Structure 1
Amino acid sequence: MTATERLHSSTHGPCARPVQLAGTEFDASTGERLGRKTVERRCGSRLASQCPSCSALYAADARALIRAGLTDPDTGRPLPATFVTLTAPGASVFGQVHSQRRSGGKRGKVRTCRCGRRHRDGDPLLGLPLDEASYRYDLAAAYNAAAGRLAAVTWQKLGRVLGERLRVVRVMEYQARGLVHVHALVIGTVSQADLDLVVSGGTNPRTGRRIAPVRHGRWNWGPRCHARPVRTGHADRLGAYMSKVTAYAVKAAGEDRPSGGFAEKMARAGAAACRCSHPRPDCCDGERTSILTAADGNPVTVVWQSRPSQVPCRRHKLARRGWGYRGHVFASSRNWGTTFGELRAKRAAWAAGRQAGASTPTVVLWEPPQYRTDRPGPGAAWSLDSVRKVVTPGPTGTATGTDGRAPDGAQWPATAGPDPRRP
């Protein structure tokens, strides 16, 4: 079975957008050239909207990772664990939104919202601001940007309070109002009093020292943080729940929201809340400048202004897509049972073992990816063909303009090859 056949015969179905790799194959012992080799590999996307197959495979890996950390590797018995939830600040910080409140728990009677209506499940108004003019989109995006670091600081402080290094696996889930909150499994026993001590501050009963509330920048957690012990036999159910949350959270934020409304405002606020730490400007803060607005109309200037310094960087793209949050949706501590890399290595070894027949050991020199596009847009890569539309190759192989001058420090390749944006 070839690599391409294994790709399309996966349990989760074929990849929706496989990446084709081409290279030259050589005999590992003699160095003899055996010919060209072309294979396809999975795109590896975690977004279900881009590739349902790779997204399902990622969720399965997450489920296996969670299960590996919840069991003792020596005895195979489940370990004691605590389910911790950390929520975002309340409406007093960001503004009131349409909500579905129930009296008497999740199965209780639906209470009237502040708008005067009773929202049922699936109501498109749930999570939207009551007053869009006064809602603080900027603060919501700023909180999302700080949520990942705030969670990391929380685990560090909680470990110091308990006097041990925590083993944690957590997922970041988007609430209906567009704010992220944390669901985590912590190996060991974490009482509600210990969590309240870390979140709200107080005196550590173990050391007698005063502890400040956990904070990152101006942000802290909301009032509804809780810790629940995982009962024996319920670990698999909680692990399945967290993997279900992961499968939901890998969707891009706001996919179910109409464009131009709440989702678009949160996306813009997320890009605005992102800050680059590069020594020089590396992007245009999420807004691409036109490559046709040169000061003097010189074609060389047009090409120079279309370099990566004039397109959104990866940080701003992630901030826009995640409404300010740029971290991983799913993460685990280093001392957890296993890692994604180990799981993928085992799967690759299993797939290689199923390949029928023993073949001669070979070495493949893969070619660098070729970027081809006739009309570069935001996030698109320049190809040499598109560059040649406005510049001509000079006598020394350096890209020059119509006046024979090259941009300062620009050394464009004169033959087809990798992305010419990279010097």
Structure 2
Amino acid sequence: MAADYTTGVPDQHTTAGPGHRPTRTAAGSSGAFVGRDESAFTRATTPDYFGWLEHVRSAAGCSHPIRLAGEVATIDRATGQLLAVTRTEDMPGGQIYKPCGNRRHAVCPSCARTYQRDAYQLVKAGLAGGKGVPATVARHPGVFGTFTAPSFGPVHTQRTDRAGRPIPCRPRRQPQPCPHGVPMRCHRTHADDDPALGQPLCLDCYDHDGQVVWNHSAPELWRRTTIAITRHIHARARALGLPWVEQVTASGKVRRVPPVKLSFGKVAEMQRRGVAHYHAVIRLDGVDPHDPDAIVPPPAGLGVDDLAAAVEHAAAVVGFTTRPHPAQPAGWRITWGDPGKGLDVRPVNADGDVTDGKVAGYLAKYATKSTEATGHVSRRLDGDTIDLYANEQGTHPERLIDACWTLGGHRDWQQLRRWAHMLGFGGHFLTKSRRYSVTFRILRGARIIWRRIEAGHEYADQPEETTLIVGLLSYAGSGWRTTGDALLANTAAAMARERDEIAREEMTAAA
């Protein structure tokens, strides 16, 4: 079996990104079509059209595929003998196409869809088992929690009454104007697509500095929260009289450890007001005295109510003060939202409203989002581009970016400038504890093997690797070489995806 370290296999969809223009290079250096028409007709009438289509199939739906040029060597793993060398200039198109792998739907819908499906499998495996996770985890106590930030000023929002009917945003009979003379009321019932949602009632009153600092500090707040939850659970186990476990380490030493561990998977979501909040699945596991990595049920006596109480306690008490800044000499106090508003905890079960499938789908959906909800989408900013997006007297997102750049001018807060395009948030949008579930790497490796089997490679299911494929490749560019290439590749990918969906529906109906 061949071990391939040169290319990955993506999902497929979409067209070339907005504003994309093909890169022109000298003939022979990367196989570019110098002086040729960029139409789809030109590509479709070339003699090797179908060979080219098969060659780019792995990246056919990507908006901005990575193009690589160089050589691919096949080596006998046992003897080290060089068996073959393939040059990219001899391949259709003269280059190897690799999907960009971007998780953001606004950047590349195709790669984001692949990431979303992997995220769904990762989260669900941690709740229901599979993908190497034992099915017994479905019986472990688990909760689904939403952790939100405090208020930094009143914003337009959607509200409902006790019956779930929509009601006006902020009705006031005799509103008191803010110090800037803006009436702090809104009698509108906002629709889902209302651009006013998340916008401050008064931009000058809103604490933009405090919000970007909170975004920047949210990963540290979450880390402290998981520590507090673990300590509360350990204290509960001690109160119940549960015995500590004598565990043998890899070095052969014996140590006494608590009988329960915490595992979690979480996703960060950017709200319309431009502040991050977390959706998290938290699971209780036991401890195997002989295998520290084993996932076993927690001891009897600890249940979902104990876990929910630990989460609620941690969210209420955890907080810290940031380092000082000239704009805030005492530092900013970082906590979750007000009690009763900053946290929502629900048990995960197979028969209730919060099932493993719903939770996995919910978290996977937000794993591909970024700052689009705020109306701001940009890449990393620098001194040359900051003025295009930052304005201390501008819109809400512009003021948040300006706050990042201004506060980040201090040497102890320079990371705020690095993450100004993310409104200060520099954490990962999807993270998990080590023992919670399978990894993205394993899921991607399984997909590569499946694609090899689908392509009819006779070595794909062999247990041992007999050859090693090494790519001596260099970066040749990003994006499709011509608009015609983008059109044909994405059309073929869309047709293949449609056939797969029809086949899946027919198989489901037959079952």
For the aligned pair, the TM-score class normalised by the smaller chain equals: 0.5 to 0.7
The AA in structure 1 aligned to 2:215 is N
Determine the structure 1 residue equivalent to 2:82. Answer: 31
SS in 2 for 1:335: coil
Q: How far 1:87 sits from its partner (Å)? A: 1.2
Q: How far 1:49 sits from its partner (Å)? A: 1.8
Q: In 2, are the aligned partners of 1:170 and 1:331 still within 8 Å (CA)?
A: yes
The structure 2 residue matched to 1:245, chosen from 352, 361, 366, is 366
SS in 2 for 1:215: strand
Q: Deviations over 1:35-63 (max 9, x none)?
A: 41231111011111211100111111100
1:76-87 alignment, distance < 5 Å: 78-79=138-139, 80-87=141-148
Q: Deviations over 1:218-258 (max 9, x none)?
A: 201112213111222422112212222223x2454633699
Answering whether residue 227 of structure 2 is matched by residue 156 of structure 1, we say yes
Answering whether residue 112 of structure 2 is matched by residue 55 of structure 1, we say yes
Distance (whole Å) between structure 2 residues aligned to residue 132 and residue 111 of structure 1: 17
SS in 2 for 1:44: coil
Distance (whole Å) between structure 1 residues aligned to residue 163 and residue 401 of structure 2: 33
Distance (whole Å) between structure 2 residues aligned to residue 346 and residue 27 of structure 1: 21
Q: Which runs of 5+ in 1 are unaligned?
A: 202-212, 286-314, 373-423
Answering whether residue 277 of structure 2 is matched by residue 226 of structure 1, we say no
Distance (whole Å) between structure 2 residues aligned to residue 339 and residue 4 of structure 1: 31
- Using a 3 Å threshold, how does the CA distance of structure 1 residues 336 and 21 change in structure 2: closer, same or farther? same
Distance (whole Å) between structure 2 residues aligned to residue 162 and residue 326 of structure 1: 29
1:20-169 alignment, distance < 5 Å: 20-29=67-76, 30-31=81-82, 34-37=85-88, 38-72=95-129, 73-75=133-135, 78-79=138-139, 80-90=141-151, 94-104=152-162, 106-113=164-171, 114-121=184-191, 122-163=193-234, 164-169=260-265
Answering whether residue 394 of structure 2 is matched by residue 343 of structure 1, we say no
Q: In 2, are the aligned partners of 1:267 and 1:319 still within 8 Å (CA)?
A: no
Say how many residue pairs are matched. Answer: 321
SS in 2 for 1:141: helix
- Using a 3 Å threshold, how does the CA distance of structure 1 residues 214 and 348 change in structure 2: closer, same or farther? same
Q: How far 1:264 sits from its partner (Å)? A: 1.7
Q: How far 1:76 sits from its partner (Å)? A: 6.1
SS in 1 for 2:110: helix
The AA in structure 2 aligned to 1:138 is D
1:305-384 alignment, distance < 5 Å: 319-357=419-457, 361=467, 363-369=469-475
Q: Which runs of 5+ in 2 are unaligned?
A: 1-49, 89-94, 172-183, 235-259, 285-303, 323-332, 378-387, 460-465, 479-511
Q: How far 1:2 sits from its partner (Å)? A: 8.3
> Bigger CA drift: 214-223 or 154-163?
214-223
- Using a 3 Å threshold, how does the CA distance of structure 1 residues 269 and 3 change in structure 2: closer, same or farther? farther
Q: In 2, are the aligned partners of 1:103 and 1:110 still within 8 Å (CA)?
A: no
SS in 2 for 1:58: helix
Distance (whole Å) between structure 2 residues aligned to residue 192 and residue 357 of structure 1: 50
Distance (whole Å) between structure 1 residues aligned to residue 274 and residue 262 of structure 2: 29
SS in 1 for 2:261: coil
Q: In 2, are the aligned partners of 1:254 and 1:263 still within 8 Å (CA)?
A: yes
Distance (whole Å) between structure 2 residues aligned to residue 3 and residue 169 of structure 1: 41
Determine the structure 2 residue equivalent to 1:255. Answer: 375
Distance (whole Å) between structure 1 residues aligned to residue 169 and residue 96 of structure 2: 57
- Using a 3 Å threshold, how does the CA distance of structure 1 residues 275 and 145 change in structure 2: closer, same or farther? farther
Q: In 2, are the aligned partners of 1:4 and 1:40 still within 8 Å (CA)?
A: no
Distance (whole Å) between structure 2 residues aligned to residue 105 and residue 179 of structure 1: 28
Distance (whole Å) between structure 2 residues aligned to residue 4 and residue 67 of structure 1: 35
The AA in structure 1 aligned to 2:336 is W
Distance (whole Å) between structure 1 residues aligned to residue 410 and residue 97 of structure 2: 35
- Using a 3 Å threshold, how does the CA distance of structure 1 residues 326 and 253 change in structure 2: closer, same or farther? farther
Determine the structure 2 residue equivalent to 1:205. Answer: none
- Using a 3 Å threshold, how does the CA distance of structure 1 residues 86 and 22 change in structure 2: closer, same or farther? same
Q: Which has the higher contact order (CA 8 A, sep 6+)?
A: 2
Q: In 1, are the aligned partners of 2:409 and 2:417 still within 8 Å (CA)?
A: no
Q: Deviations over 1:179-226 (max 9, x none)?
A: 11111111142554323322233xxxxxxxxxxx34363201112213
Q: In 2, are the aligned partners of 1:146 and 1:216 still within 8 Å (CA)?
A: no
TM-score normalised per structure 1: 0.67
Q: Give the percent of matched residue pairs that are identical in Structure 1 and Structure 2.
A: 26
Q: Deviations over 1:69-114 (max 9, x none)?
A: 1124444672432011111112xxx222222322216435345444
TM-score normalised per structure 2: 0.56
Determine the structure 2 residue equivalent to 1:194. Answer: 310
Q: How far 1:146 sits from its partner (Å)? A: 0.5
| Structure in which a larger fraction of residues adopt helix | 2
Q: How far 1:317 sits from its partner (Å)? A: 6.7
Aligned Cα RMSD in Å?
3.3
Q: In 1, are the aligned partners of 2:168 and 2:187 still within 8 Å (CA)?
A: no
Q: How far 1:364 sits from its partner (Å)? A: 3.6
SS in 2 for 1:167: strand
> Bigger CA drift: 185-194 or 149-158?
185-194
Q: In 1, are the aligned partners of 2:73 and 2:472 still within 8 Å (CA)?
A: no
Distance (whole Å) between structure 2 residues aligned to residue 245 and residue 345 of structure 1: 23
Q: Deviations over 1:372-398 (max 9, x none)?
A: 9xxxxxxxxxxxxxxxxxxxxxxxxxx
Q: How far 1:33 sits from its partner (Å)? A: 6.1
